[in-house]
Amino acid sequence: MKPVMTFALMTLRNLLRRRTIWGISIVILIALFGIGQIPGFGVSNEGRFILDFGLFGLEIGALLLAIGLASNIYPRDREQKTVMPIIAVPLSRSQYLMGRFVGAAIVEAAAMLVGCIGLMIILIMNGHAVPADMLPATGLLLVEGWFLLAVVFFFSFWTSPPLNAPLTTLLFIVSQMSVSGFIKLFPQAPGLMRTLRLFLPHMDVFHIKDPIAHGMDIPGLYFFLAALYGLAYMAFMLSVALAVFRSRDLK
Amino acid sequence: MEKFPLQVNELEKSFRKKLGLSSFKAVDSISFQLSHGEILGFLGPNGAGKTTTIKCILGLLKPSNGKVTLWGLHPASLQVRKRIGYVPENPDYDDTFTPLEFMQMFSSMRRLDMSRERMLAILDRVGLAKWENVRIRSFSKGMRQRVSLALALQSEPELLIMDEPTVGLDPAARKEFRDIILAERQRGASVFFSSHLLSEVETICDRAVILSKGKKVVEGRLDDLMRTEDHYRIIYRVSDDEPEELEVEAAGLQKSIDDLRGQGYSIISVNPLYRSLEEVFLSATGGGGI
């Protein structure tokens, strides 16, 4: 575990020093500033709007963060050959993947937390109550972000960064579709589409902004099971990514 | 009995060409071994398959055929990783870190319990004493090589694998590297040394393997490789004069000795003629560029 954590720390420091995190912070601040302008439009139920837009922003943020943080890590390591001396001597490929993943996951968690706190401040400043489920809801979006990170790592082992982003976004979109929506994509083969949908992740389970914005109660068990589902899928995706990485020659 | 630090048996590595319809062999059935405490020079023209072989030895590439073992184990095994140090060709470490940070992180990843003083001593040994806290972004190629050497030496490896370690170094730095390699051998390490600089191989290596077009064309002790079988040098003296020498072909050696003796000369020594490693290399590779 120690080598993985050391390498994760190295990844974290690298992301900090490359100013990646500052770029992310600026984007978060701009997004929060935009959401903070909602009361100025004089809409009714502005608290609901702020929550709705805010959680939607966090959801998209989770996707963009995953792509921005991870799509270039391995390709850059390979291109600059920094991966060679690391994998050749101190680390195994699984430790390399886990170290890089954990480092990026910490940055993603910090960014999501900052976004969530910012959203809470905007709500309070405009005289609205902060829903009790907001933090767990952000937690679910973070789990989704980590899952997407694993997907980005998986793609990064066999595609280029420009292809990685659309592939991950495509998976993000289709993973939110219902079975009927999926069949509509290719109605000629409903059985095939139904089977395909079964194997693709159901990311819609992480998106609970509507019930929260409407003040509905969400059972704690739901959060637990949804998080478990996301983490299990993330572990599966990392295993597949590792299998791909292990099978590849480092030329 | 302890197994060889490095044993390569019938190693073959093919790569697919761009469209994947055909492949080419970068390394073609090569075998050799490295003994304990030995410095083995690994030579060949560009594209001969040296770096591909090294990557197979390090477990970065999977052999298409054949086998590589280090102390009888698979190259990727943890026991092997703990025992080797690797100096890559043109190392390009993450340039946002300093040498000392790298030493700290690598020692932690290797699970070594190293004091800061010990790390500084290693950096001092490779000539980076005053640079330990400077980000390697500003380092020259030669200084990056020194970082690489420091990281390789960190674990006091039993086997040092060096891929063109002195490329880009000035003559004084090359001498420092050579001295360190010899000191490591003195400590008991075995060294696998790939280089383009034949004079360097000639100076420090015990044996050499020469590759050409993916195949092993020559292997042997440097003394044996450089000694010619067909030419000899006779050193003789006429009364009290300075000794003189005569180079003759093997076929006419005995006749030449008899003739000299017949003329009253005393024979001081008869030795096989030595070629330079460059001559050995050029004849083995058919004059291929270094």
A-chain CB neighbours of B55 within 8 Å are 84, 249-251
Residues within 8 A of A (CB atoms), B 39-68 only: 55, 58-62
CA distance B112 to B279: 45
Question: Do A119 and A35 meet the contact criterion of CB atoms below 8 Å apart?
Answer: yes
Nearest by CB: B108 against A6, A80, A85: A6
Does residue B1 surpass a pLDDT of 70? Answer: no
Asked if the Cβ–Cβ distance from B105 to A10 is below 8 Å, we say: yes
CA distance B150 to A35: 52
Does residue B69 surpass a pLDDT of 60? Answer: yes
A244 CA: distance to closest CA in chain B (Å):
14
B-chain CB neighbours of A6 within 8 Å are 105, 108-109
A-chain CB neighbours of B78 within 8 Å are 92
Q: What single-letter amino acid sits at A196?
A: L
Q: What is the mean pLDDT of residues A175-187?
A: 84
- Strand pairing partners for A9? none
DSSP code string of B189-210 = -EEEEE-S-HHHHHHH-SEEEE
A-chain CB neighbours of B61 within 8 Å are 249-251
Please tell me the total number of residues recorded for chain A in this structure: 251
A31 CA: distance to closest CA in chain B (Å):
29
Q: Considering chain A, what is the average pLDDT of its residues?
A: 87
Residues within 8 A of A (CB atoms), B 121-180 only: 148, 151-152
Nearest by CB: B105 against A6, A17, A82: A6
Q: What is the pLDDT of residue B182?
A: 93
Q: In this structure, what DSSP letter does residue A199 have?
A: H
Asked if the Cβ–Cβ distance from A250 to B61 is below 8 Å, we say: yes
Between B124 and A19, name the one with better pLDDT: B124
Q: How many CB atoms lie within 10 A of CB B42?
A: 28
Q: Which of A98, A43, A41, A53 is nearest to A246 (CA)?
A: A98
Give how far Cα B132 sits from Cα of A89, B129, B153, Å: 22, 6, 16
Angle (CA) A247 B110 A16, round 5°: 80
Asked if the Cβ–Cβ distance from B60 to A249 is below 8 Å, we say: yes
Does residue B286 surpass a pLDDT of 80? Answer: no
Q: Considering chain B, what is the average pLDDT of its residues?
A: 87
Residues within 8 A of B (CB atoms), A 84-113 only: 84-92, 95
CA distance A243 to A97: 11
A-chain CB neighbours of B85 within 8 Å are 89
CA distance A204 to B86: 47
Asked if the Cβ–Cβ distance from A250 to B106 is below 8 Å, we say: no
Asked if the Cβ–Cβ distance from A89 to B88 is below 8 Å, we say: no
Q: What is the pLDDT of residue B67?
A: 93
Q: What is the pLDDT of residue B111?
A: 84
Q: pLDDT band at A231, cuts 50/70/90?
A: very high
Question: Do A72 and A157 meet the contact criterion of CB atoms below 8 Å apart?
Answer: no
Q: Which structure tokens are listed for B24? A: 């080419």
Q: What is the pLDDT of residue A204?
A: 85
Question: pTM of this prediction?
Answer: 0.82
Nearest by CB: A85 against B59, B76, B151: B151
- pLDDT, tens digit (0-9, with 9 covering 90-100), for B104-138: 988 988 888 889 999 999 999 998 888 989 998 88
CA distance B145 to B73: 28
Q: pLDDT band at B2, cuts 50/70/90?
A: low
Between B192 and B227, name the one with better pLDDT: B192
Asked if the Cβ–Cβ distance from B76 to A82 is below 8 Å, we say: no
Q: What is the mean pLDDT of residues B257-262?
A: 88
Q: What is the pLDDT of residue B287?
A: 64
Asked if the Cβ–Cβ distance from A2 to B111 is below 8 Å, we say: yes
Question: Do A220 and A133 meet the contact criterion of CB atoms below 8 Å apart?
Answer: no
Q: What is the pLDDT of residue B290?
A: 46
Ordered strands of the B65-69 beta sheet: B23-34, B6-16, B65-69
Pick from B13-27, B129-143, B145-159: least confident: B13-27
Q: pLDDT band at B183, cuts 50/70/90?
A: very high
Pick from A131-145, A155-169, A213-227, B11-25: least confident: B11-25
Q: pLDDT band at B40, cuts 50/70/90?
A: very high
Inform me whether the C-beta atom of residue A81 falls under 8 Å from chain B C-beta atoms: yes
Asked if the Cβ–Cβ distance from B111 to A89 is below 8 Å, we say: no
ipTM (interface pTM): 0.76
Nearest by CB: B96 against A14, A92, A249: A14
Asked if the Cβ–Cβ distance from A88 to B111 is below 8 Å, we say: no
Mutation target among A89, A94, A251 for the B interface, most CBs of B within 10 A? A89
CA distance B196 to B169: 13
Between B183 and B279, name the one with better pLDDT: B183
B2 burial level (CB within 10 Å; 0-12, 13-18, 19+):
exposed
CA distance A79 to A120: 42
Asked if the Cβ–Cβ distance from A10 to B59 is below 8 Å, we say: no
Inform me whether the C-beta atom of residue B111 falls under 8 Å from chain A C-beta atoms: yes
- pLDDT, tens digit (0-9, with 9 covering 90-100), for A56-73: 888 888 898 899 888 888
Asked if the Cβ–Cβ distance from A251 to B15 is below 8 Å, we say: yes
Q: What is the pLDDT of residue B150?
A: 93
Ordered strands of the B244-249 beta sheet: B244-249, B227-237, B266-274
Q: pLDDT band at B20, cuts 50/70/90?
A: low
